């Protein structure tokens, strides 16, 4: 370990666990209703589109992480492959967008577990996660492993129970025709924006549930043999999550139908109530809260590492680059991230946090794909995969709700102006 650096102590299973913990969060419990409202019976094609963009992003990120195995993820890749400004812009989008994600996860946890005091519960969750991350990354990995195992087992339990025929049919009978239920033609719940726009909007929402595999890359300075481990961990984690989401999507559409999914505030919990019985539906609500806690844990972990990398380069206060304690934890960055997330939880609403987060994350991955384009002579898929990923990210970002696009554009622009001012003053 270099002076002031982080320790390489995470193996393949640890890296996969962190990726799973970041992806298998509240998104899988909450994303189906807004996706069905946008795309109607075409939720599954929207899921496939989101997965395609996610796969391209993952492959580009993995190829870059193998060549630049240090903390910071796309912030480092953009800086090294495209220039300082693009690295800074990626880091800015990641820190701001994922801070909004943290707030969204905390508020989702509160709304599932303590509906009457959701904001207070969210504050307690942020404080608990910040304290855990201050103890060191291995404790966070162990907690994530438990959370992912329990939540994954419960989701599989709901899916298996749903296989029992109800009214002469199983969920697969309805879901596989894409309408989500008998008598529901494709597109019956689409808005006036049209089928294509509805599918793109749904894909953007579903992408929010996938985003998380970059957490592996942001921990590149703590992974053993990163050139080999990081690409494998990214592919394994994304493959597992894609299979799980496809299974859950088929079951939710098959049991509730497209219309029923669109109006449900908790689709997976409603499915559990039907296939397990109302007396056991609370189990899924508890697990949704636990999943949100796991995502919050890993999100704050990744943001602190990107903040550390940006602070090392002077884009954030130098104190955030401090690594201290026997566990080599960036405590100043962890504490700062925790405080900022608390502020967002206290002033923002859930919908605004999710929309803004999606915009920032898609731009972050757009920079990653642009950086991967520079690898085309070193990496066989370098001429196709990054182009598809870059195009997909920009299209999905542009089709998000207008308020998210405008708000995100203003904040990203503010970051760019700040960079320009620092450059003029000689600070970059």
pLDDT digits (tens, 9 = 90+) for 234-267: 788 888 888 888 888 888 888 888 888 888 877 8
- Which pLDDT belongs to residue 1? 47
pLDDT digits (tens, 9 = 90+) for 10-67: 778 887 877 776 677 667 777 888 888 888 888 889 998 998 998 899 888 878 877 8
Higher-pLDDT residue of 160 and 318 is 318
5, 198 contact by CB (below 8 A): no
pLDDT bin (cut points 50, 70, 90) of residue 82 is very high
Q: Over range 357-361, report the average pLDDT.
A: 88
pLDDT exceeding 70 applies to what percent of the chain?
Answer: 80
CATH class given for the domain over 12-424: mainly alpha
Q: Over range 126-155, report the average pLDDT.
A: 72
pLDDT bin (cut points 50, 70, 90) of residue 181 is very low
pLDDT digits (tens, 9 = 90+) for 333-347: 888 888 989 998 988
Q: Which of 47-51, 184-188, 265-269, 327-331 has the lowest mean pLDDT?
A: 184-188
b vs e for 356-365, b when ≥16 Cβ sit within 10 Å of the residue's Cβ?
bbbbbbbbbb
pLDDT bin (cut points 50, 70, 90) of residue 328 is low
Higher-pLDDT residue of 242 and 428 is 242
Higher-pLDDT residue of 240 and 326 is 240
Q: Over range 70-81, report the average pLDDT.
A: 81
pLDDT bin (cut points 50, 70, 90) of residue 177 is very low
Q: Which of 138-142, 190-194, 201-205, 327-331 has the lowest mean pLDDT?
A: 190-194
pLDDT exceeding 90 applies to what percent of the chain?
Answer: 13
Q: What residue ranges do the domains of the chain occupy?
A: 12-424
The encoded tokens of residue 211 equal 């985003």
Higher-pLDDT residue of 102 and 226 is 102
Among 301, 287, 30, CA closest to 147: 287
96, 408 contact by CB (below 8 A): no
Residue 385 reports pLDDT greater than 50: yes
pLDDT digits (tens, 9 = 90+) for 389-421: 999 999 999 988 788 888 889 989 998 998 888
- Which pLDDT belongs to residue 49? 93
What are residue 10's DSSP bridge partners? 223
Query: How much is the mean pLDDT over the chain?
Result: 78
């Amino acid at each position: 370990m270099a002076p002031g650096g982080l320790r390489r102590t995470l193996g393949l299973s640890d890296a996969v666990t962190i990726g799973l913990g970041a992806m298998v969060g509240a998104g899988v419990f909450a994303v189906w209703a807004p996706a069905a409202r946008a795309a109607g019976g075409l939720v599954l094609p929207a899921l496939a589109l989101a997965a395609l963009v996610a796969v391209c992003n993952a492959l580009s990120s993995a190829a870059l992480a193998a060549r630049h195995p240090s903390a910071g993820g796309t912030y480092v890749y953009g800086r090294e492959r495209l220039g300082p400004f693009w690295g800074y812009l990626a880091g800015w989008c990641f820190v701001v967008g994922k801070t909004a994600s943290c707030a969204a996860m905390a508020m989702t946890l509160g709304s599932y577990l303590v509906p009457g005091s959701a904001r207070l519960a969210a504050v307690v969750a942020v404080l608990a996660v910040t304290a855990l991350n201050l103890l060191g990354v291995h404790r966070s990995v162990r907690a994530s492993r438990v959370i992912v195992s329990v939540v994954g087992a419960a989701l599989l339990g709901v899916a298996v129970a749903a296989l029992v025929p109800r009214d002469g049919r199983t969920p697969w009978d309805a879901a596989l025709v894409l309408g989500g239920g008998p008598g529901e033609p494709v597109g019956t719940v689409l808005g006036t924006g049209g089928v294509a726009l509805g599918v793109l909007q749904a894909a953007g929402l579903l992408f929010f549930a996938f985003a998380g595999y970059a957490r592996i890359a942001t921990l590149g300075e703590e992974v053993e043999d990163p050139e080999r481990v990081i690409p494998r961990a990214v592919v394994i984690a994304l493959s597992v999550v894609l299979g799980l989401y496809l299974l859950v999507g088929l079951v939710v559409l098959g049991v509730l139908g497209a219309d029923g999914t669109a109006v449900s505030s908790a689709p997976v919990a409603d499915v559990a109530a039907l296939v397990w019985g109302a007396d056991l539906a609370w189990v899924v609500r508890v697990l949704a809260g636990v999943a949100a806690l796991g995502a919050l844990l890993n999100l704050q972990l990744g943001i602190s590492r990107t903040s550390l990398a940006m602070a090392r380069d002077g884009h954030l206060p130098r104190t955030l680059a401090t690594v201290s304690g026997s566990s080599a934890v960036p405590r100043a960055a962890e504490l700062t991230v925790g405080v900022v997330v608390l502020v967002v939880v206290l002033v923002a609403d859930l919908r605004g946090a999710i929309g803004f987060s999606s915009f920032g994350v898609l731009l972050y991955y757009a920079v990653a794909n642009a950086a991967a384009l520079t690898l085309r002579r070193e990496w066989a898929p370098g001429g196709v995969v990054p182009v598809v990923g870059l195009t997909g990210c920009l299209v999905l970002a542009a089709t998000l709700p207008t308020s998210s696009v405008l708000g995100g554009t203003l904040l990203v622009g503010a970051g760019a102006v700040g960079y320009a001012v620092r450059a003029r003053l000689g600070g970059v």
